[in-house]
Amino acid sequence: MVTKAQRHHHILRLLHAEHPANQTELVRQLARAGVEATQATLSRDLRELGVVKSAAGYQVLSEVRPLPPGGRPAAFTAAVRRLLVKVSHGGTQVVLRTPPGQANALAVEIDHAADDGVLSGVLGTIAGDDCIFVACSSTATCRAAAKRLSSIARQSAATSNRQLAQSAG
């Protein structure tokens, strides 16, 4: 029986050495290495390891970009500023839009922010290619999360506009 830590080690090794195209291929590669894992287990493992799939393939977020000074809150803010395009909400769900291939990266940061208490009331996320569904604990926390995310994204847009105006003047 392979432990979770051993399975994580095998996953990271395969991601670096074999560059699997998708989770089905990664499950097959793990099986060839003697590690049995279901797709559901693999999805959880990838999330725990901070692995996201982008147009460039699977990437381990901690290897791509170390946490900025200020830790998780700063990483969350930076990801929202960099990746959030549009925010909508209704009921207990917030729907976020990102550039193509970037939803997973932002969803990981939102989940970490929720786990660390930086974004309260968020139960979890489901990410596609350019869309994230954020499940909230109530309509009030949904509105608050949508407002906070929009505010952070607007701060980024305002900063970009100021920088453009300064460089033009």
Per residue in 105-122, pLDDT tens? 899 889 888 988 888 899
Domain that holds residue 21: 4-49
Element (H, E) at 119: none
Domain annotation covers residue 56 = no
- Structural domain count, the chain: 2
Mean of the per-residue pLDDT values for the chain?
84
Domain annotation covers residue 97 = yes
> What's the CATH code of the domain at 157?
3.30.1360.40
Listed in sequence order, the residues at least 6 apart from 114 whose beta carbon sits closer than 8 Å to its beta carbon are 120, 122, 123, 124
Closest C-alpha among 145, 133, 143, 71 to residue 104: 133
- The segment with the largest mean pLDDT, out of 53-57, 64-68, 114-118, 131-135, is 131-135
Q: For the CA atoms of the chain, what is the radius of gyration?
A: 18
Q: Are 99 and 85 in contact (CB under 8 A)?
A: yes
Asked whether the predicted pLDDT for residue 146 surpasses 90, the reply is yes
Q: Are 94 and 106 in contact (CB under 8 A)?
A: no
Closest C-alpha among 153, 152, 105 to residue 129: 105
* Distance, C-alpha 94 to centroid of its chain: 15
Q: Is 122 in a helix, a strand, or coil? A: strand
Looking at the fold, whether 99 and 154 belong to one and the same domain comes out as yes
Check residues 73 and 153 and name the one with the higher pLDDT: 153
Q: Quote the pTM value.
A: 0.58
